[in-house]
Homo-oligomer: A and B are copies of this chain.
Amino acid sequence: MFETAEIGHKISKADYKKAVPALRADLLGAQAELYAQGKIPVVLLISGQDGAGKGETINLLYEWMDARFLSTLAFARPTTEERERPSMWRYWQALPPKGRIGMFAGSWYSDPIREHIDGDISRKELDARADQINRFEAMLVNEGALVLKFWFHLTREAQKKRLKALASDPRTAWRVTQWNWDRLETYDQLQATAGHLLRMTNTPWAPWVVIDGSNDNYRALTVGKVLRDALRAKLANTSHPTSPVAPMVRVDTDGRNVLSALDLGLSLTDKHYQNELAHWQGRLAELARDPRLQHRALVCAFEGADAAGKGGSIRRIAGALDARQYRIVPVAAPTDEERAQPYLWRFWRHLPRHGHITLFDRTWYGRVLVERIEGFCTDADWLRAYTEINDFEHEMAEAGLILVKFWLQISQEEQLRRFQERQRVEFKRSKITEEDWRNRDKWDAYQQAVCDMVERTSTGTAPWTLVEANDKRYARIKILRTLCERLETELARSPKHWADAERPGGQRPSEKKRGKKK
């Protein structure tokens, strides 16, 4: 959920100054139309970490827009009056009327997050709250509202830096209390809880917009643009409030995303590679024979552009395993039998039983990648697929299946080089088709779909690992190492925590890189 907000976004002062006047005019125009039309209440949730810019954003929107049609609702601990009503009562009282914008500083998300961190409610209870919230927000949208939820994110280091900066300046020191420092201590818990809750409530009708809070210009411009675009889209189409189709929200206003942030120059020398390969294959062979795996099962999912090296990586894993224990499932066009069933059926049928391993060469993510881009399914279909996939993977986790997902990223140039090589070398020629060349034309659309996929389906129990795959050796070792480390962690868990993993264990932008620059 927070992947895109951790790659370090930045917009320069000059770019910012250039962009603001037009944006303000747009926002004022949209706001005036909203008021004149008088049909749509706008519910903006301003939430996120301390010091990530919540207050600044509210002040900025007041500055940019017409304050007469704007209200801020701040919620602290409930008053006696509020405590004597159902917990949602105070939020109902604060809803903006049609034609106006209500900004919620603190919202119906605050209590469940705090209660789960404090241990007052279990994960299952948190999930039940998420479903309640989804129904509440669906009701708002069905009643005509635009619901937009901002979450401002900071990495642990960035948050610490922010708090220190605020504390050291006498003009802002009063804003930093012991409570803020205590919150920093529970940073990981907040990430895990909020990440899970945000994912559960990231619905097409009321999407979350996670924004990197570390750069003021980027944050301000992104909030403004997202709000403007959402207002325009809603004003243009008030007739179908319940339509399940919502545009994905773009926050890469500075052109950076989780894929472009990867360092594709990482590589290994052949000697280094051979050593590492022997080491990790040996480790994997041991783990596959670990008696604890007899009560679990392993599913590896491989996705990546054509010629990204999925097959080669899978073979390096299979090479360490006993043939009776694993199966490779290549995913191609569905059979007749599969076509007569719901989309996920053909993946369900291949789930391994205890002690076994399934390696998927391409996966159920086809729906949000190739089917989305090529128009093989409707927008509504691939939009609902994120939730369906999260449910599917959650059921795996609950049953003790260990799921490890890899996205192999190569550059467009590297793909071209490999395509040309395939055409040159006779025994490789069969691997390249007309379709592969056609897919290249849609490179940018595919990259965007991958970013959406990572943001929406990288969960605590099923994190995505993004693999820098321009160098095959580097990629294979990273995959083997990640797999071994994940297996070690998972096998150490007790059954009741199988489905309760805290923080994604996969790719972290801050992770120490072990390869060398080319």
CA distance A345 to B41 in the complex (A): 13
Which chain B residues border A140 with CB–CB below 8 Å? Answer: 342
CB distance from A511 to the nearest CB of B (A): 30
How distant is A351 from chain B, measured CB to nearest CB, in Å? Answer: 6
Report if A174 contacts B (CB, 8 A): no
CB nearest neighbor in B for A356:
B84
Taking a contact as CB atoms under 8 Å apart, the answer to whether A84 and B353 are in contact is yes
> Does A145 sit at the interface, judged by CB under 8 A?
yes
Beta-carbon contact of A142 and B395 below 8 Å = no
Q: Is the CB of A387 within 8 A of B135?
A: yes
| A68 within 8 A of partner (CB) | no
Contact with B along A136-159 (1 / 0, CB 8 A): 101110110100000000000000
* Cα–Cα, bound, A439→B145 (Å): 32
Q: Are B349 and A92 in contact (CB under 8 A)?
A: yes
* A398 contacts B by Cβ under 8 Å: yes
Of the candidates B93, B143, B391, the one whose C-beta lies within 8 Å of that of A343 is B143
Do the beta carbons of A139 and B384 come within 8 Å of each other? yes
Chain B residues with CB under 8 Å of A307's CB are none
Q: Evaluate contact between A345 and B124: CB separation under 8 angstroms.
A: no
Contact, CB under 8 Å: B342 / A87: no
Q: Is A401 an interface residue (CB 8 A)?
A: yes
Which residues of chain B are near A38, meaning CB under 8 Å? Answer: 340
A153 to chain B, nearest CB (A): 27
Residues of chain B lying within 8 A (CB to CB) of residue A348: 88-89, 92-93
Query: Could you tell me the distance between the alpha carbons of A86 and B81 in the complex, rounded to whole angstroms?
Result: 46
- Complex: how many Å from CA A127 to CA B126? 11
- Whether the Cβ atoms of B95 and A297 lie closer than 8 Å is no
* CB-CB contacts below 8 Å: A240-291 with B: 242, 244
10 interchain residue pairs of minimum CB distance: A97-B340, A143-B342, A86-B399, A86-B395, A131-B131, A84-B353, A84-B354, A92-B348, A98-B340, A128-B128
Can you list 20 A-B pairs, Cβ within 8 angstroms, ordered by A? A41-B340, A81-B353, A84-B353, A86-B351, A86-B398, A86-B399, A87-B398, A92-B349, A97-B337, A97-B340, A98-B340, A122-B124, A124-B125, A124-B128, A127-B128, A132-B391, A135-B387, A139-B342, A139-B344, A142-B381
